[in-house]
Structure 1
């Protein structure tokens, strides 16, 4: 696959998602980072702040600010991790689940359009291929620009 095609797909897909997000975030004083953390908290209710940073590559200050905003809007809570009292587990609230479900429904609707004309077999193949590509992303070695 040509880099141009891959980058073009990734950019167009993310811009489409960003437009959907902007509709949901408008008037809520939330940004993209806040929403990413919220959705990650729905999918992974056992994650603590450090794990969220590891997965998102956001620095600690961004995560702390986002969590504070999300807590102020009753979308998440932070609970002390019983196995390590210095850590806090980020948990989604009912309000957060409702917000996330609405957002996921909007994404699902857009996916139906994106995947129209693609057979079930092709979608299954795509799923397998993307899972492999996703796994390989963690193996990429970032070059040192000083060498």
Structure 2
């Protein structure tokens, strides 16, 4: 036996990577603000979820569980196969960091919107507006992994 739970494997296979509920909330919020954007640009590092090419701004919408939102209640760790999950989460975080660094190296500004941040639409709108208008300090953008 490989130690893989078939029920867990089936459940994880159904997890979407694009057009997730949090991503759709962010996209609807931007659209309601009168903004138009591109999605999933494969020619950019990390294929950002939302892109404003003219402004050179990219937004990643991260699930708190998969991308390890520090201090978030949604970033729990499964109790089985802890070593596997730690390696998986560490690899995800390293990939996220590489993608953000690569985008910034190309002159892009990057914002990470966490899944848990999509529940407060007023605050989400303010954060998006600040980021897109350039009012948000760079530290807030790159340090968005903090709760």
Q: TM-score, normalised by structure 1?
A: 0.31
Instruction: Name whichever structure is richer in helix by fraction.
Output: 1
Determine which structure has more spread, i.e. the larger CA radius of gyration: 1
